[in-house]
A and B are shown apart, each in its own frame.
Chain A
Amino acid sequence: MSESSVTKPAPVRRKLSAGPLSTGDKWFFRTTSIAANFAFVLVAFILIFLFIQALPALTSQGLPFVYGTEWNNQQDPIVMQIGPMIWGSLLIGAIGVVFATPLAVSLAYLIVFMLPSRLAKVATTLVDLLAALPSVIIGLWGLFVFSPVASEWGAILNKYLGWVPIFQVKSADNGFGGSPFIAGWIVAIMIVPIITSITREVFSQLDRDLINGALALGGSRFSTFRRVIFPTSAGAVVGGVLLGLGRALGETVAIFYVLQITFNINWGQILEPNGGAVASMILSKFGEATQEEVSGLIAAGLVLFILTLGINFIASIIVNRAQPWRKN
């Protein structure tokens, strides 16, 4: 073998996988790639068709559509503005995330680090079951069972912590039902599973030997959590929380039953029976909507879609970056 110093021409990389594919393979890859590219088509179609039907409302309402605070179909021309709904969705989403995150992280910690594996499986199944509950069922339960209880919680919060601005209400006589607080709880219940499952997956990828070793050596759970678990998994948990926020913004039926939807913007008095949510508003107005209003509702859907798409996109990127083991 020549180890000589004679410089050879640099080797030229060849085209690999050259040569004819069999007809079967051609069809195999063609068909599956068409199916895969359907994802593009779907997103494009959703945007295009929503846009076509939203256009009349968008042109007649102009920019105030997204920040104005009035919806009046008696007036001519009709006024359709969804500012309070967008703000309400974000508020409820934020409340939901604040409630859901500690619950979900606790569940994940319990499942991965505390329960013996058999019980951990049971707990995982229960969380998955929670995820499988249709939102109309949560709505039904929310209306008849949860709302009365949560109204009590609201009353208690107002009574003892009423000096905190967000727990203030104009008048306790209006009751504490139909508030963003209750709607926030409802979405929290619905997004706990998704945050749990992502957190659980990150936790279970941590080097368990390291953690068990630290515990066995008399290291404390708390410091292990703070020094080992938290720093390595925080990124993915944030991604999971964002995914949950995306879900929360899109939640329709369940919120519809528990929230008092009004077009007066509620900046943050979360116990006030007054709130908004884009998705639920669409459902509530749809039954009696005029043709013009349908266009307005579709425009609201377009806004919602862009909002959730953006959040989900960022969330997916964060989650994927924090879970390198999922790549190919």
Chain B
Amino acid sequence: MNSLAKASTLSSENISVWFGQRQVLSDVNLVFPANKVTALIGPSGCGKSTFIRTLNRMHELIPGAGLAGSVYLDGKDIYAEDFDAVSVRIKIGMVFQKPNPFPTMTIRDNILSGLRLSGRKIENGDEVVETSLRRASIWNEVKDRLNDQAISLSGGQQQRLCIARSLAMNPQVLLMDEPCSALDPGSTRRIEETIQELSSSMTIVIVTHNMQQAQRVSDQTAFFLADDNTPGGVVEFGATEQIFNGPIDQRTNDYVNGHFG
């Protein structure tokens, strides 16, 4: 595993976000240290999914999207003029809420699709496929049918395939936007295990609705909240232990104890 890229520190500085004229996030400052898992929690519509999309420049794909502030990857602003979106996304991988394997490709081709899509030469493709699938703990389930269509897999397997697909690119940071929300408890548990194994080699940011999940997988937690008709923002940010067991802010306390949201 020493061929893997080193995990990086990611941080956001004064991030504000707009859709058209409507501001949806205000002044988010967070630091995601290397090899740590950070959970972003909060009620629906508080802007956490929007925020995670600013971290690898997926946000700008939405028409009318606006942004202020900076995101630093190892000290370099990913929104700087000389940093193109493609190389940002190669370094910072992303797993989406719904599993989205490429339906026209086989399992194997899905894993290699990132390399092909970013125009890299594929050497020892078999090795990449095996390593990636192993790291996403799905190798044993699919090793005998690598040439089957990816959509023949179950939902949970599809999601782990998508994780493996991101891992094949060897990202320094992995962003996960509610990766388990469409999955059954068994698949969810396996993905949580995968996340913990992965954190030894990369920085992970995960958006989740599930308090238990945040507690199980993350080292630190940020609580997002948007009051009526105001942009969302971070209410409290700290070690997961502290956020769940001794939150400073009353609203955090209410939320993690299920009093609203």
Contact = CB atoms under 8 A, between A and B. Distances in A.
Contact of A11 (B29, B68, B235): B68
A227 interface: no
Interface residues of A, number: 14
B80 interface: yes
Contacts of B74: none
A11 B237 contact: no
Interface string A236-263: 0000000000000000000000000000
A20 B68 contact: no
B237 A19 contact: no
Interface in A302-328: 328
Contact of B65 (A16, A18, A21, A22): A16
Interface string B210-246: 0000000000000000000000011111000000000
Given A1-B236, A16-B60, A11 B14 contact: yes
Q: Which of A11, A12, A18 has its CB near the most chain B CB atoms (within 10 A)?
A: A11
Nearest to A13: B66
Interface in B21-69: 26-27, 29, 59-60, 63, 65-69
A37 interface: no
A327 to B, nearest CB: 11
A20 B82 contact: yes
Nearest to B236: A1
Interface string A1-25: 1000000100111101111111000
Interface stretch (B83-91, B131-139, B154-162, B199-207): B83-91
Interface in A22-55: 22
A19 B81 contact: yes
A16 B60 CA distance: 6
B-side interface size class: 20 to 34
A19 B60 CA distance: 12
A8 B14 CA distance: 11
Contacts of A11: 14, 16, 26-27, 68-69
Nearest to B16: A11
Nearest to A1: B234
Given A11-B16, A13-B18, A14-B79, A22 B86 contact: yes
B27 A20 contact: no
A1 B29 contact: yes
A11 B18 CA distance: 11
Nearest to A8: B27
Contacts, number: 46
A14 B14 CA distance: 12
A17 B61 CA distance: 8
A29 to B, nearest CB: 14
Contacts of A21: 84
Contacts of B18: 13
B80 A1 contact: no
Contacts of B81: 18-19
Nearest to B77: A14
B84 A19 contact: yes
Given A1-B237, A13-B18, A19 B65 contact: no
Contacts of B82: 19-20
Interface in A148-167: none
Nearest to A25: B86
A271 B59 CA distance: 64
Nearest to B83: A19
Nearest to B70: A14
Given A8-B27, A11-B27, A13-B18, A20 B69 contact: no
B185 to A, nearest CB: 32
Nearest to A24: B119
A14 B67 CA distance: 6
Contacts of A19: 79-85
A17 B79 CA distance: 8
Nearest to A22: B86
A17 B60 contact: yes
B67 A13 contact: yes
Contacts of A20: 82, 84
Interface string B88-127: 0000000000000000000000000000000000000000
Contacts of A18: 79-81
Contacts of B236: 1
A188 B60 CA distance: 48
Contacts of B68: 11-14
A328 B63 CA distance: 10
B225 to A, nearest CB: 11
A21 B67 CA distance: 19
10 contacts: A1-B235, A13-B67, A13-B68, A14-B68, A17-B85, A19-B81, A19-B82, A19-B84, A20-B82, A22-B84
